Amino acid sequence: MASGIFAILDDIAALMDDVAVTSKIATQKTAGILGDDLAVNAEKATGFLASRELPVLWAITKGSFINKLIIVPIALLLNVFFPVAIKVILVLGGFYLAYEGVEKIIEYFFHRHKKGHEVIEENKENDSAAEKAKIKSAVTTDFILSVEIVIIALGTVLDRSLTIQIITVSVVALLATIGVYGIVALIVRMDDAGYRLIKRSGDKGIVSKFGHSLVRSLPVIIKALAVIGTVALLLVSGGIFAHNIDYLHHIFPTIPSFVKELAFGLLAGIVVVAVVTAVKKIYGLVVRR
């Protein structure tokens, strides 16, 4: 009886050792996409009133957990019964990310930037609706990025048993959500932490200076994240196309992959934006008639 229990415990320990090794490898493989995920979602989780930052971030985090609960079992099932579908889903997701990236660029260069009082008035009128829309957009983008993370993690354990595949992918998915949104929470609350340090130090000394630096740094970080997040969207989408479409994978072999992936994402985004704009105009003409 005792020997049987010890044998079971030994098997569990061996399984956990294997999972620890595979999870470490999978996390290293997904480090790049996790960095992009952080940049994209940090940018999406900012721009709210201070009192709404954490509730909004929690809503996005819950959406991310739900995304993982949906994606992980579906990815495992598709990998067993219909693996080609994974590539199709990834490519469609790549088009969505490219569309979002190019749309942000167009918004920045061609739409009039609103002045401070206009933004305040708009926030008062559409506070709840704008918040829900941004949460929905963030959760949708997280879904696409989560698919990429789960697929990459799964790809590192295809030669292992189904049990190790399930546990490893689940661990990576869980760590991705906790890690990314934990760091995002620290970023969006930097200014509050700075104000508290200033208040407690009586606005004197090194602690106060550090508090002021935190407060001053947040707007700079948010602007940087907006740029980094947009580039990340295009790079992730371009990377999806390059790694899942053989022709694009082998084209222009002398050009650095970074440049190729950015170009693929940009071109795909322009095409999707053009198609979406044309469809909207045609639909508008049909409705008017």
Kindly state the average pLDDT of the residues 99-127. 65
Q: With 80 as the cut, is the pLDDT of residue 60 above it?
A: yes
CA dist., res. 19 & res. 169, Å (int)? 10
pLDDT at 114: 52
Q: At what angle do helices 162-188 and 205-244 cross, to 10 degrees?
A: 140
* Residue type at position 115: K
How would residue 267 be classed by pLDDT, with cut points 50, 70 and 90?
Answer: very high
Q: With 60 as the cut, is the pLDDT of residue 115 above it?
A: no
Its pTM stands at 0.71
The pair of structure tokens assigned to 160 is: 């292992």
Residues 174-228: tens digit of each pLDDT: 888 888 888 888 887 788 888 888 888 888 888 888 888 888 887 888 778 778 8
pLDDT at 12: 58
Question: Of 41, 99, 72, 66, which is closest to residue 270 (Cα–Cα)?
Answer: 99
Domain borders along the chain are 2-288
